[in-house]
Amino acid sequence: MTGSPAPSGPPVLLLTCEHAGRLVPPEHATLFRGREALLASHRGWDPGAMEVAEVLARRLRRWRSGPVLAHPWTRLLADVNRSPDHPRVFWEEVRALPARQRAEVLAAYHRPHREAVRSAVAKEVAAGRGVVQVGVHTFTPVLDGRPRTTDIGVLYDPARLPERSLADAWCRGLRIALPERRIHRNRPYRGTSDGLTTWLRASFAPAAYLGLELEVNTRLLDPAADGGGPELALLAGTLADALGGALGGWASLPRPSG
């Protein structure tokens, strides 16, 4: 973990989208031939996630550090939100490839995104600025036949006080703005499960790096449009405004000294 001094000013916002697209590299096209339905499903990508991230980026310019760091390749090839040794980092067809080919997939389509995010965080921390990284995701309303009750989830590590404080503030703003929606913390997933934020927390102190994940139920998006329509834009604007309000109250949030 870096020993940089705790930042004293407001943080910068780094937006990422780990499952932004469902592209298949040409060298792996045969592996996915006839798998169009699978690629279009939630197993292949996060529908609407990149559109939400782009709205957040436009609405939160004053906080933002650089463009959205988005991963365009299908998560079936290698899921960048999982560690390289995670048992489900690969789709089963990729997992069946020889070890050398799997290593090549990780080097070309897994490691670059994770290293780009880590480098962006490290650059800001080295300059004495704190970083709030928000990974933007969507999730399917029904998984394995079981409906999910969460509409919007904010994931974080409860043991890291700055993350907990910011997540609480963001959720409070969302509950006020969207009283009809079910806003949950650390649902439908736990913020401490294996993921990009978990990996980054091991390198940066709680006061310097805050790793949050936004999870939006695709049920809230316009089913008639690929990636969402007017409903998505309206919802994303509300998500952005609530996050901006939480970031604006940064000075009053409890923070450790290092």
Read off the pLDDT of residues 121-158 as tens digits, 9 standing for 90 and up: 999 999 999 999 999 999 999 988 899 999 999 999 99
104 Cβ neighbours under 8 A, 6+ residues apart? none
Quick one: pLDDT at residue 233? Answer: 87
Q: How far apart are CA 118 and CA 80, in angstroms?
A: 13
Q: Is there a cis peptide before residue 188, judged by omega within 30 degrees of 0? A: yes
As a whole number of angstroms, the distance between CA 138 and CA 188 comes to 10
Q: Could you state, in chain order, the average pLDDT of each consecutive group of 10 residues for the chain (258 residues)? A: 62 96 97 96 96 96 91 98 97 97 98 98 95 97 91 98 96 97 97 98 96 96 58 92 92 54
Question: How many helices, marked H, and strands, marked E, lie in the chain?
Answer: 8, 8
Q: Which residues pair with 69 in a beta bridge?
A: 16
User: What are the φ and ψ backbone dihedral angles of 55, each rounded to 5 degrees?
Assistant: -65, -45
Predicted local distance difference test score (pLDDT) of residue 2: 55
- Does pTM surpass 0.85? yes
**Residue located via tokens 């040794």:** 85
Supply 124's token pair. Answer: 């800001």
- Radius of gyration of the chain from Cα atoms? 18
Structural domains of the chain, with CATH: 12-252 (3.40.630.40)
